[in-house]
Copies of this chain bind each other. A is one copy, B any other.
Amino acid sequence: MSHTRVTLRDIAEAVGTSISTVSLALRDDARVSDKLRHSIQATAQELGYKVDLLGSMMRSNTPHVLGVVGRFDQELHTHYIRILGEAARERGYYVIAENAAAYDHMTDALKTLAQFRITTTIAINPSHEDHMDTLRNGPTVVIGQERVFPGADLMTSRNTSGAEELAAHLYALGHRSVAYFDGASGVSAQTRKQALERAFSGYNIRFDVFPAGATMDDGFTAASHLMADQWAQYRHAHQESTRGRLGEYSAIVGYNDQCVQGIAVALMGAGLRIPADVSLAGFDNSQVAQSSTFNLTSVDRGVEEIAALALDRAIERISTPELEAVTVGVDSHLVIRSSTARAYYLNTPAPTSATGGAGTNRNL
């Protein structure tokens, strides 16, 4: 009942053995006899012993502590961080997470971890702009699209499978002309765009790319512009209002769910219904997508699987740091929700009202 923490020495004294034996016994080392080990573990339990990770890390060259760096302001990242933390703990490991959003450069977050002697690290979505290749000790495992550090493993999500499923889904619903709201420049956006272009061209679906970005506001702004453009064009061409429809497009795909969220709000604010007037789909299968408020059809990028692979590999590298760097791809899969439906022109025409008349010129 002392105020100070319980140490190995306390257990050793209680059991009547040595500190080193206790240390071995607690880590289930076979050298300690069963009987003594049980006695030691029971006493440890009883005294409420918890290993002092500082002492452990000071001495050990295979510490049970991993680092994770990611941006705490991005849901996908904190999702990874939570899963990694939970899974690590189940396996007797600890992870400490550093917030890349609190540093000018993600490399600085890694340097802070290094000050805690944490050298086995998982970096979430770093880019080449972070210049991690200049680091002496870069990340051990990278979750993302680019191998930013020569020696790091890369766990990556394959866009192809998800893009294919999405194209097939929209095709089956009768969509033949889709607007894609692209992410900001970068490898991630680039590869996704190309996967989508390939998939949609396979179904002969027109696939027009518009610059947007990764945030809700990016989607909102881009969607507002698209509506204005489309309506201006159609008013000019047909001398009539097309409010209530989105010109040539019956569906919009966004770079990610955040972007799609902004698109959805812009459309709804203009009086368009989702999915009756426009179908919407995104990437990441995030909380927004899963919410009943938006309920977005979205491509799940296999977060759980990627996290498990990254953790496995990081743990493996604690004891064997010299493994050669591998790249592992995980298939993405479409999750269908209520934001996608049959293209509006396939439905029984709405009763002609003051705002109606849109979609009449559609050639299927």
Contacts and interface: CB of A to CB of B under 8 A. Distances in A.
A265 interface: yes
Nearest to A57: B54
B217 A292 contact: yes
A312 interface: no
Interface stretch (A81-89, A156-164, A193-201): A81-89
B363 A353 contact: yes
Interface residues of A, number: 67
Interface in A9-37: none
Interface in A339-364: 350-351, 353-355, 358-363
Contacts of A102: 81-82, 85-86, 89
A166 interface: no
Contact of A97 (B3, B58, B99, B351): B99
A259 B186 CA distance: 34
Given A114-B50, A265-B268, A268-B268, A355 B78 contact: no
Contacts of A50: 111, 114-115
A82 B58 contact: no
A274 B351 CA distance: 27
Interface in A107-135: 111-112, 114-117
A292 B217 CA distance: 6
A171 interface: no
Contacts of A78: 72-73, 78, 99, 101
Contacts of A234: none
A361 B270 CA distance: 11
Contact of A354 (B55, B272, B355): B355
Contacts of A52: 115, 117
Contacts of A272: 359
A319 to B, nearest CB: 18
Contact of A54 (B3, B116, B273, B355): B116
Nearest to A109: B85
Contacts of A42: none
Interface string A183-225: 0000000000000000000000000000000001101110000
A262 interface: yes
Nearest to A360: B271
Contacts of A291: 216-217, 220
A79 B54 CA distance: 28
A86 to B, nearest CB: 5
A323 interface: no
A269 B359 contact: yes
9 contacts: A52-B115, A72-B82, A73-B78, A81-B102, A216-B293, A220-B293, A265-B294, A270-B358, A355-B362
